[in-house]
Amino acid sequence: MAKAIKLSMVNVIEIVKMPHWFEGTRNVTLALILTLCSPSYGQIDTSLQLISKIDFQEQFELHDGNLIHLMGYTQLISAPIDLPSPTLIFEEGDSVNLSMWNLSQGAPHTIHLHGLDVNQQNDGVPMLSFEVEHDSIGNYYFKAPHPGTYIYHCHVSSVLHVQSGMYGMLIVKPKSNPNLTWENGFLFDSEHAWMMSEVDTNWHHDSIINHPHDPMGTMDPILPYYPQHFLINGMSETQLDMAPINGTVGEKIYMRLANIGYYANRVIFPAGMNAEVIASDGRPLPSPFNSDTVDVYPGERFGVLLEADAEFSDVIQVGYVNLNTQILENTQEVDLTISGFIGLDELDAEDQLVYPNPANDEVQLPLSGEWVALDLSGRAIGTLISENNNYNVSGLAVGSYILKNVERSDVSVKITIQR
């Protein structure tokens, strides 16, 4: 089954504005009590829940058709675990309550907010903060800090749980404009988020994924790590054909690159693309620089602004380098096409295609019928259907999306949701 179709209707990020402290009604754990005792963040602006789960049946499809077990986070009980977990987007300065309901049936889990520099209570490290037992809810409170690109992942037996799939990207956007890197930073027209990782299928057997509570980690077997699959947003090889990057001449494309794997990533942009490295680890670089190659090591993130001044088609390469031998073991490619305009030849300006853009709850699109909404990682997260050109987009969280028309595969438009 095509990945994009398989993933449609899931991973929709639901950000609920809460007027008061979140008051959970489920089983309140010691962890929650400890968290509530932490320094107050006052009114919670944003509340979001993730569910940590494991696969009892192999369901995640690799490029070769093989299925593997995963651990992971979803936002719906019924949603299959995906790689990576849903991308979370917050606005700078928001007081956030991120809760996690652990339905692992065994192992405890946490959420470590990698790079957000949250306080100790909310850092997601067992024994230094808290871990969430099966069928319990843990709550993490933090203020979304500097706009930038971050990671969240489990920190219980982290070498095992991260490889098992418990990771996702977290993005903090400035309040004034979601298409701004940070206040007084760089404006961009579209953005893509790439979470790079690997899979060693030997680490995904049921006996490892479905392991019991073992806080000291002494029972968790740590196998030799020799990955066979090298991923960009959970996809590799021909799967990546479904996640191309399409842009237009003069369009500023912001690439968010993150490495949660145990290899180094060497990202190489084609010669026709001007690539400016402007940020790393959630902070602006003091001296942005141009480079067609960006190396991203485990835990790092980079922000790269792309722009082309001519039409061309090429690929972006991602190399995977063994950190022990420094040998390049694999290269993945993502198609990149820069065209004059975005699909509709009969229209001569992009701003005539989508109105208003940025949009709030409603938007007018150039064609009626069904559109598929793709998130920053190129994954389908839902559909928009209307018998006329007016569409309700209130279900889309703040951020940037590509909308692809189902009947006219050559037609796609970019839209920004801003509230």
Partner 1 sequence: MIRWALAFFLLNGLSAEAATINTSLYILRDSIHFDNGTSLPYATFNESNAYTATNARIVADLGDQLDLWVVNFDSEVHEFRIQGETNTVSIPVGDSVQVLYDCNSQGVFIFHDPMNFPDNASVGLSGMLVVKNTTNAGFYWNIKEHQVGNNATVFGGSSPDWSTYYPVHFTINGKSAPNINNDADARVVGNVGDTIYIYMANTGQSIHSMHLHGYHATIVYSSKNPSHVGWSKDSMPIFPSETMVLELVPDQPGEYPVHDHNLIGTTGGGEYGQGMFTTLLIAP
Residues in contact with partner 1 by CB under 8 A are 112, 114-115, 117-120, 123, 125, 128, 157-160, 162-163, 216-218, 220-225, 262, 264, 280-283, 285-287, 289, 295, 297-301, 323-327
Which one, 288 or 358, has the nearer CB to partner 1? 288
What are the backbone angles phi and psi of residue 349, rounded to the nearest 5°? -150, 135
**Closer Cβ to partner 1, 262 or 391, answer by number:** 262
Instruction: Give the pair of three-digit tokens for residue 93.
Output: 């300065």
CB of 124 to partner 1, least distance (A): 9
Residues 6+ apart with CB under 8 A from 152: 73, 85, 88, 111, 112, 113, 114, 167, 168, 169, 170
User: 93 vs 17, 84, 174, 188, CA distance in Å?
Assistant: 14, 25, 8, 21
Closest CA relative to residue 115, chosen from 5, 244, 280, 311: 280
Distance CA 99, CA 49 (A): 5
CA atoms within 13 A on the CB side of 179: 17
User: Minimum Å distance from CB 178 to partner 1?
Assistant: 23
Nearer to partner 1, 24 or 217 (CB): 217
| Separation between Cα atoms, residue 48 and residue 41, nearest integer Å | 16
Which CB sits closer to partner 1, 3 or 114?
114
The span from the CA of 107 to the CA of 214, in Å, is 7
Beta carbon of residue 91, minimum distance to partner 1 (angstroms, whole number): 20
The nearer residue to partner 1, 291 or 339, going by C-beta atoms, is 291
Nearer to partner 1, 189 or 220 (CB): 220
CB 70 → partner 1: shortest distance, Å? 17
Please name the residue ranges forming H helices in 165-315: 206-209
Report in angstroms the alpha-carbon separations of 320 from 21, 111, 151, 353, 395: 44, 26, 19, 39, 37
* Minimum distance from residue 143 beta carbon to partner 1 (Å): 12
Closer of 78 and 326 to partner 1 (Cβ): 326
Provide, rounded to whole angstroms, the least separation between the CB of residue 157 and partner 1: 5
Cβ burial, residue 60 (10 Å; 0-12/13-18/19+): buried
Q: Which residue lies nearer to partner 1 by CB, 214 or 350? A: 214
Looking at the Cβ atoms of 297 and 355, the one nearer to partner 1 is 297
Nearest to 79, CA basis, from 53, 117, 118, 43: 53
Give min distance, CB of 321 to partner 1, in A: 8
Nearest to 368 by CA among 341, 340, 388, 350: 388
Query: What is the nearest approach in angstroms of partner 1 to the Cβ of residue 13?
Result: 24
CB of 84 to partner 1, least distance (A): 16
Residue 315 corresponds to which tokens in the numbers above?
A: 């690929």
